[in-house]
Structure 1
Amino acid sequence: MSSPAAKPADYEAFPYVRRGVDFPAIELSDPSHRRSRFALELNAEQTARAERLLAENVVISFHDHPQLLPADMADVPTYLRTPQVFTAFTELRKSGMTAVFDNWFGVLGTASKSGWKWDDLITALGMRLADLAHQDSAVVARTVQDILDAKRDGRVAFVMGTESAGPIENELDRIDVLYGLGVRQMGLVHSAANTLGSGQAEQRDAGLTAFGRRAVERMNALGILIDVSHAGDQTSLDAIEASSKPVAITHAGARSVWPTPRMKTDEVLKACAERSGVLGIEAAPHTTVSYDHRVHTIDAVMDHFTYAVELMGIEHVAFGPDSLYGDHAGFHQAVSGGLGLSGMLDPGDGSEYERVTHVDGMENPSENFRNITGWLVKHGYSDSEIQAVLGGNILRVLNEVWR
């Protein structure tokens, strides 16, 4: 992507403002650039079947950041302080996805290194909605029918979500405000504790707070999907028990497959399934590594998938790759303090793994579900099983929660 300052039309997002005038002219990553060299090596029949399944079914990413990163990681702080965060709309249309749970970068902070405050969240949400309102290829999904309509119309549906409920502080009615503005999924807590409960970074997980239980009740009443991906073990279990609706783990893996705090215990995974919830398998760099594949590729990711299917049942598993466009591993390094990653990706048993620059086969939203579908075809999964994990399981949960 050359001379971005001189060619603002190259960027589809925010067509109504001027780069270098209304916001900084930061050069962004080229979304068409691929480092991933993964090849499934399917035969002609398998290829045709994979393409058919991707085309026919509702495909949902339970968690992604479909935005462009800066080309230079030194520009990340400036970029995150800029309200205009660019989405790769053209690339998403090629991805095969029907819908994406879009969680922005809210846990990183803009004015504060401690994460978004209420004004930050409302500003970012309003900016995202304004951008989406000017995209013919995209819609905001507030109902299941919106997702089904997007499939029919060949559009990508964006589900507005946030990884942490921290910005609501102790104001319960702020959940209503977010629902009114289109938010349909909320993480209770990120790595650090907040007024609702404990995150994965806490050495002692005190569980869901009294206010957290009230928040869960309000989210149930409104129709907001509760996510415990980054919650501590006890907080996750408490939320699943307290909720009258299924609870999601939109992006994580199994701690039995790779023993880091970022992964979920068997107890949490089984509790999620027993209450009709769904796990989305994570694929951000250095998360879903496995004992059998210590280089993080799609094969390691699918080790978590196969384990979760065996433990939870295939009707409770989907995919939340947590990917984006650009240097994801470099981005983690640039914002590691804000993400609370310190210690989160270190195996508790001292196991070693190889550092990577990208997850081969699941580098960004454009390739994820094409490779996932091909992998499932190659490994003998039935059409109905593939339909379920590509999006059917998530639709079932949304039909229960959003009503």
Structure 2
Amino acid sequence: MTIERREFLTLAAATAATAALPGPLLAAAAADPLKGRIVVNALGGLGDPNDRGDGMVPRVSPRVLTEAHASGLTAVNITLGYVSGPADPFEASVRDIAATDRLVREQDRDLVKILTAADIRRARAEGKVGLIYGFQNGAMMGKDVGRADIFANLGVRIFQLTYNPANQIGDGSMAPGNRGITPFGRELIARLNDLRVMVDLSHSGERTCLEAARASRAPISINHTGCRALVDLPRNKTDAELRLVAERGGFVGIYFMPFLNVTGHARAEDVVAHIDHAVNVCGEDHVGIGTDGDVTQIDDLKRYEAALAKEIAGRRAAGISAAGERPDTYPFVVDLRGPDQFRKLVRLLQAKGYGSARIEKILGANFLRYAETVWGA
């Protein structure tokens, strides 16, 4: 998922001032459950799934940014750089960062590059959407740990060690060996700690995750996952992984993905169930959201299904697919999507008995606290 896959083209949107709203809308805005809150999507995107161009490749339309603002989103960890394919991992990753920097410069009225926790607060105060630069595969490192300095200096703030297969750092969730962290992986984790870059263990195998959490001097994260105690699939994390990450001060984001239900057809109630389980295992100070999806929803699901089948076939051929991915399983939760997804989640958590303070933590305060620990205030 490089920048070519998420082409942020012709972004333009204007947010109407609250004071200009008519009476009924002003009252609705005042009752907004997200008002004054920071909402951080620990893994997501800004794309228009209705305008994908070539196959599954999303293109961002003016609608996307308008809906991102309307959703209440403060900041999102976007996937840049190499994930899989024939491109040179290092070159593709540098190219993506440069293209996204250009986008932020061109759209500075709406977007801001996130480098510190203070930038997340600034995005909220200025009504902008913060972009957190993140990787989902460490292949671009080659065997040169010094490349971590290059990417940190370019603004990468989240470094996911593996995707689903194994790489030179460790084993992904679909690697059969479950071999854990390699010596190079341990060296890389130490360098990322020195550089104050988040180490993300999403997609990792269990042993890789446990060893990395113990090896890291700084807290680590699992930015988008589910709970394997509820659904036994490799992309979901065991209680041992969740607990260790929390005990070491880290962060766990629950995704809005098919892996949350054994049928592959996850619903909003499944998201709440996995959040609730994670809170019970990790404690309420270590759980948030990492939807692994866009804010803009798909308008025509039937049309989308044909493109999805092609995408799944391509992922399987490339060896990067996860158990539980099928052409009939949407990579999102059908009844928890679109620009109202975070407000609906709030309502569901309230119905579950969650209080305002706990909900605020899950929406973004926990990620912000974690960011302050790793990046600095």
TM-score of the pair, normalised by structure 1: 0.78
Separation (CA, whole Å) in 2 of partners of 1:252 and 1:144: 23
Are 1:344 and 2:323 an aligned pair?
yes
Whether the 8 Å CA contact 2:165–2:320 is kept in 1: the answer is: no
Q: Deviations over 1:100-145 (max 9, x none)?
A: 1111474243xx1xx7611111111111111111111110010111
Unaligned runs of 5+ in 1: 1-11, 17-46, 348-353
Task: Report the CA distance shift for 1:330/1:283 in structure 2 as closer, same or farther (over 3 A).
Answer: farther
Counterpart residue identity of residue 279, structure 1: V
Aligned match of 2:214: 241
Residue 207 of structure 1 contacts residue 232 of structure 1 at CA under 8 Å; is this kept in 2? Answer: yes
Q: 1:346 to 1:90 in 2, by over 3 A?
A: closer
- Please list every run of 5 or more consecutive structure 2 residues that lacks an aligned counterpart in the other structure: 1-6, 12-26
Change over 3 Å in CA distance of 1:198–1:65 after alignment to 2: same
Secondary structure of 1:54's aligned partner: coil
Return the letter of the residue paired with 1:131. L
1:280 partner SS: strand
Q: State the identity %.
A: 28
- State how far apart, in whole Å, the 2-side matches of 1:399 and 1:240 are: 18
Query: Separation in 2 of the partners of 1:118 and 1:86?
Result: 28
Query: Could you tell me how far 1:316 is from its partner in structure 2?
Result: 1.2
Distance in 2 separating the partners of 1:93 and 1:183: 23
SS at match of 2:285: helix
Residue 299 (structure 1) shift: 0.9
Distance change (3 Å), C-alpha of 1:116 and 1:388:
farther
Are the counterparts in 2 of residues 261 and 344 from structure 1 also a CA contact under 8 Å?
yes
Task: Tell me: CA distance 1:49–1:260, structure 2 relative to 1, closer, same or farther (3 Å).
Answer: farther
**Match among 62, 76, 79 for residue 42 of structure 2:** 62
SS at match of 1:238: helix
How far, CA to CA, are the matches of 1:342 and 1:137 in structure 2? 34
In 2, the alpha carbon distance for the partners of 1:277 and 1:50 equals: 33
Write the distance in 2 (CA, Å) between the matches of 1:120 and 1:145: 29
Q: 2:169·2:184 contact (CA, 8 Å) conserved in 1?
A: yes
Q: What SS does structure 1 have at the residue aligned with 2:120?
A: helix
Alignment of 1:128 onto 2:100: yes
2:335 to 353, 361, 367: 361
Match for residue 283 of structure 2?
313
Contact kept in structure 2, 1:281 and 1:321, CA below 8 Å: yes
The CA deviation at 1:306 is 1.0
Check conservation: 2:163, 2:320, Cα contact below 8 A: no
Does 1:149 pair with 2:149?
A: no
Residue equivalent to 1:3:
none
Contact in 2 for aligned 1:269/1:279 (Cα 8 Å): yes
Distance 2:157 2:77 in 1: 9
Residue type of the partner of 1:158?
A: L
1:398 corresponding residue in structure 2 = 371
Residues of 1 paired with 2:52 and 2:104: CA distance? 26
Specify the alignment match of 2:55 in structure 1: 76
1:103 paired to 2:79: yes
Match of 2:112 among 126, 129, 139: 139
Q: Cα deviation per residue 1:65-122 (whole Å; 9 max; x = unaligned)?
A: 222236468x227x48xxx87682222111101111111474243xx1xx76111111
Tell me which amino acid in the other structure corresponds to 1:97: L
Give the counterpart letter for 2:176 in structure 1: Q
Over 3 Å counting, the alpha-carbon distance change for 1:331 and 1:184 in structure 2 is: farther
The 1:51/1:226 distance shift into structure 2, 3 A limit, reads farther
Does the residue aligned with 1:335 lie in a helix, a strand or coil?
helix
Equivalent residues of 1:253, 1:281 under 8 A apart: yes
C-alpha distance in structure 2 between counterparts of 1:224 and 1:332, whole Å: 33
Cα 1:177–1:379 shift into 2, 3 Å: same
Quick check: 1:162–1:186 contact (8 Å CA) kept in 2?
A: yes
8 Å Cα contact 1:289-1:301 kept in structure 2:
no
**Contact kept? 1:246, 1:401, Cα under 8 Å:** yes
In structure 2, C-alpha distance between the alignment counterparts of 1:166 and 1:51, rounded to whole Å: 46
In structure 2, the CA distance between the partners of 1:283 and 1:357, relative to structure 1 (3 Å rule), is closer
Q: Distance in 2 between matches of 1:266 and 1:195?
A: 26
2:71 partner letter: S
